[in-house]
Amino acid sequence: MSEPLVIVGNGMAAARLVDELAKTALGRYAVAVIGEEPRLAYNRVLLSSVLAGETGSHEIELRPAGWWRDRGVTVRYGYRVSEIDVGRRELKIAGEESMEYSKLVLATGSTPLRLNVPGADLAGVHTFRDTRDVDLLLTLAAARKRVVVVGGGLLGLEAAYGLAKAGAPVTLLHLMDRLMERQLDAPAADLLKTLVERKGIRVMLNAATARIHGEGHVQAVELADGSRIEADAVIFAAGIKPNVALAKEAGIAVNRGVVVNDVMQTSASDIFALGECAEHRGTCYGLVEPAYEQARVLARHLAGRPAAYQGSVVSTNLKVSGVSVFSAGDFMGGEGSESLVLSDRRRGTYKKLVIADGRLTGAVLIGDTIDALWYLELIRNRDKVASIRTDMMFGRALAQPSKAA
């Protein structure tokens, strides 16, 4: 008889885990997926494309309903798990219905941070995290409402681009002195700012949000320097926090995220966690690729095969505000490292490769990211690059023509 395995959360991490389980342990478990959002799992990375009108909402679903059904997976969306009874191995759904489990996986994701400033509770203050947010922002854009986006990281840039493309006048506020400071060095961030501004988005750096003004509804945003920006809506996109409440209330160890070991196991032996809600060796990744790597490890472990998650080489490889951006590894460099840089602001391209101890240790690309996966492979494999150092800046086709073919 199949063991009941329940996955709480119906996002990208959960969908990938089901995919991996189908390859390694199909038939061993009776899998049920429970998610709060009222729809099948979808690609959250493409939300800005939906907002910009480049992709239809139905097109971002990861798998059609038949795919889940064919693998014997019960999917219940629009339901909230309110309690975990660890001793009885039982879940409470919406405070009423009970569901038993043999193994439980928490894939509860994260929640957008909302700044704790006066006026943050006014009508017209929103976040950008799911398809319901997209529907609301599309309404704002259609009415040509003036929107202030707070946050110049990935999420904020994507929200700003989508809104601007949909027709809204957009101002982007960022607390730091450069955009995407965790993923880009200063020259790359400066070029990205220029390219974003060319798309009609007003970008303000070193901009600390102090207060949101309005009588019942947003009317303006005040910065710490006293300047004021007129606005009809404010979008908070300044980071995320892992959803740990369900685990914490069940007595499962949490720190910033739900604490897991190298097989994604929590402090409760038959409960696991992965994705944005999980904390492994002190790190919460908040990115898709680590979640997929964790899903692969957990599926192998649940299938009784040896597996261990050793952490991820974090990389960014996507279109940010319509601009191709890639970064990976130690792209800032340090003592004993060498940086190779190729920049063409007119064409909107920037490349930086960091070499240390004869290996590629970091890379940043803006505009031209065609060789991004090759650079990531070199970084992850810790390959020696002395023989291709002269040509590697110009891509795999020139540096390794036999392998690029």
* Average pLDDT score over residue span 262-266: 99
* Average pLDDT score over residue span 179-195: 96
Residue 96, both tokens: 């009423």
Percent of the chain with pLDDT over 90: 87
**Fold assignment, 3-111+241-302:** FAD/NAD(P)-binding domain (3.50.50)
Condensed to tens digits (0 to 9), the pLDDT of residues 143-176 reads: 999 999 999 999 999 999 999 999 999 999 999 9
CA distance 113 to 328: 25
Instruction: Quickly state the pLDDT bin for 404 (edges 50, 70, 90).
Output: low
Q: Where are the domains of the chain?
A: 3-111+241-302, 125-236, 330-404
CATH number for 330-404 (one of 3.30.390, 2.50.20, 1.10.287, 3.90.380): it is 3.30.390
Query: Which run of H or of E encompasses 141?
Result: helix 131-142
In this predicted structure, the answer to whether residue 118 has a pLDDT above a threshold of 90 is: yes
3-111+241-302 and 125-236 share one CATH topology?
yes
* H helix and E strand count, the chain: 11, 25
Instruction: Quickly state the pLDDT bin for 314 (edges 50, 70, 90).
Output: confident
Q: How far is CA 320 from CA 153, 227, 301, 329, 386, in A?
A: 9, 28, 35, 19, 32
Q: How far is CA 56 from CA 11, 16, 53, in A?
A: 18, 22, 7
How many CA atoms lie within 13 Å of 339's alpha carbon, on the beta-carbon side?
A: 18
In this predicted structure, the answer to whether residue 405 has a pLDDT above a threshold of 60 is: no
Instruction: Quickly state the pLDDT bin for 378 (edges 50, 70, 90).
Output: very high
- Rg from Cα positions in the chain: 23
Q: What is the pLDDT of residue 152?
A: 96
Instruction: Quickly state the pLDDT bin for 320 (edges 50, 70, 90).
Output: confident
Assign residue 119 a region: left if phi > 0, alpha if psi is -120 to 50, beta otherwise?
Answer: left
Instruction: Quickly state the pLDDT bin for 402 (edges 50, 70, 90).
Output: low
CA distance 268 to 93: 20
Q: What is the pLDDT of residue 300?
A: 97
Q: What is the pLDDT of residue 249?
A: 98
Strand locations in 261-399 (E): 271-273, 278-280, 315-320, 323-329, 338-344, 349-356, 359-366
Residue 360, both tokens: 């590629």
Q: What is the pLDDT of residue 229?
A: 98
Q: Is the pTM of this model over 0.95?
A: no
Q: Which CATH architecture has domain 125-236?
A: 3-Layer(bba) Sandwich (3.50)
The chain-wide mean pLDDT, for the chain, equals 94
Question: Any idea how long the chain is?
Answer: 405
Neighbours of 282 (CB within 10 A): 10
Give φ, ψ of 217 to 5 degrees. Answer: -145, 150
Cα 399 to its chain centre, rounded Å, is: 32
Residue 400, both tokens: 């390794």
Instruction: Quickly state the pLDDT bin for 138 (edges 50, 70, 90).
Output: very high
Q: What is the pLDDT of residue 113?
A: 92
Give φ, ψ of 197 to 5 degrees. Answer: -65, -30
Q: What is the pLDDT of residue 94?
A: 84
Residues 6+ apart with CB under 8 A from 278: 106, 242, 257, 258, 260, 264, 284, 294
